[in-house]
Structure 1
Amino acid sequence: MQTQVNEHVFDTFPELESERLVFKAYNIEHAEALLKMRSHQAVSKYMDTEIPTHVSDTEKRIKGYHTAFEEGKGITWAFIDKTSNQLVGDFGIWRIDRKNARGEIGYILHPVFWGKGYMTEAMNTLIRFGFNDLNLHSLEANVNIDNKNSKALLLKFGFKLEAYFRENFYYNGQFLDSEIYCLLKSDIN
């Protein structure tokens, strides 16, 4: 059974909602909060990417999110707490492989919100969106092998370890190992 990625998702940015969160496009006003989140040591520890040091860095990242959406290459949601209107974290589906109906996910959550069920709520909402609205067949996550919390979250949602790559990623002067996790649409139906 061949599946087609739903291209209409990219017509207008999809705003979503869960019990405590609103999922919407980043805007430039989020740049300061995004800087604080992405540069927080507990968050950046496993990101294996350049850590922002100025608001201009996160403004550029936000513009990149917008461009990726406009080009149909990915979607990144800021998730905002409904009560406080505070940026809690984000979730993206990118590197969308249309031929194979597969997308890579990534997510961050500010540490003050850890252990409060926010990421579980976000994952429930956004995994359903990826499969039901975007019509993906599978989601993958590339994880730093030392990131035990992320691996536990993925396993909780039924992701399976698909591959272990030795020294496949060069960052900060060294080659790093990574693990690839996958969730098939049929795993949750």
Structure 2
Amino acid sequence: MNKIFHTERLTIRCPQTGDGKAVFEATMDSLDELREFPASLPWATEVPSVDLSETFCRSGSENFAARRDFPFLMLLRDTSTVIGCGGIHRPVWSHAAFDIGWWGRTPYLGQGLITEGVQTLLRFAFADLRARRVQALVDERNKKSRRLCERVGLTLEERPHDCGTDIDAKHRNIKIYSSTNM
């Protein structure tokens, strides 16, 4: 079950062996911005490398095939330019519940590309995985991701999740956005 989606401007597909360099370059273009939200993007606090990015791609492909996790690369259509990553994560098959997550490459933000990708991932979760619930866990300070949640039809739940403090000793809360149907 290796899905590839084509939207008007994107190709969205599972990472593959050999994608590590492109993922690393996209990460490096965005690292400062990604590190602003350690509560929802803890992996961004680590030191990136091509090898780690390649490991992410290889294990992502394996996990996808085993239905343990569903990572995707978002590429400009008909190119190999990674403009972001997203995925349907932490499946709870007994409840048909999943998390959704994403990040966008900084030079490509503000063009609706990540919104286009997240809408596609939500359709995949509900149509192909038969999700009954999909939730996004968003750092309360990440206004762009919170607005994106609203644009794609996710609803803010009342209960924030306390994440304690980040590496700069700033208190962080996670906002939970969800949908039970699409």
Aligned residue number for residue 89 of structure 1: 84
- TM-score by length of structure 2 reads 0.85
Task: Please give the per-residue CA displacement for 1:126-168, whole angstroms capped at 9, x wherever unaligned.
Answer: 2111111111011111111111100110012221222202235
TM alignment of 1:1-189, pairs within 5 A = 12-39=1-28, 40-46=31-37, 47-49=41-43, 50-162=45-157, 163-167=159-163, 172=167, 176-185=172-181, 188=182
Report the more deviating stretch, 17-26 or 156-165. 156-165
Measure, in 2, the Cα distance between the counterparts of 1:44 and 1:149: 14
Measure, in 2, the Cα distance between the counterparts of 1:45 and 1:33: 22
The answer on whether the counterparts of 1:43 and 1:110 sit within 8 Å (CA) in structure 2 is no
Structure 2 counterpart of 1:31, which letter?
G
* Corresponding pairs, count: 174
Structure 2 counterpart of 1:150, which letter?
S
Shift of residue 112, structure 1, vs aligned partner: 0.9
Q: Gapped runs of 5+ residues in structure 1? A: 1-11
The answer on whether the counterparts of 1:38 and 1:52 sit within 8 Å (CA) in structure 2 is no
The answer on whether the counterparts of 1:52 and 1:58 sit within 8 Å (CA) in structure 2 is no
Measure, in 2, the Cα distance between the counterparts of 1:57 and 1:141: 25
Structure 2 counterpart of 1:167, which letter?
C
Q: Gapped runs of 5+ residues in structure 2? A: none
- TM-score by length of structure 1 reads 0.82
Structure 2 counterpart of 1:165, which letter?
H
Measure, in 1, the Cα distance between the counterparts of 2:82 and 2:113: 12
Measure, in 2, the Cα distance between the counterparts of 1:156 and 1:181: 11
Report the more deviating stretch, 65-74 or 15-24. 65-74
Structure 2 counterpart of 1:13, which letter?
N
Measure, in 2, the Cα distance between the counterparts of 1:173 and 1:97: 33
Task: Please give the per-residue CA displacement for 1:78-129, whole angstroms capped at 9, x wherever unaligned.
Answer: 1111244311111100111111111101111101111111012112222111
The RMSD of aligned alpha carbons is 2.0
- Among the aligned pairs, what percent are the same residue? 21
Shift of residue 51, structure 1, vs aligned partner: 2.9
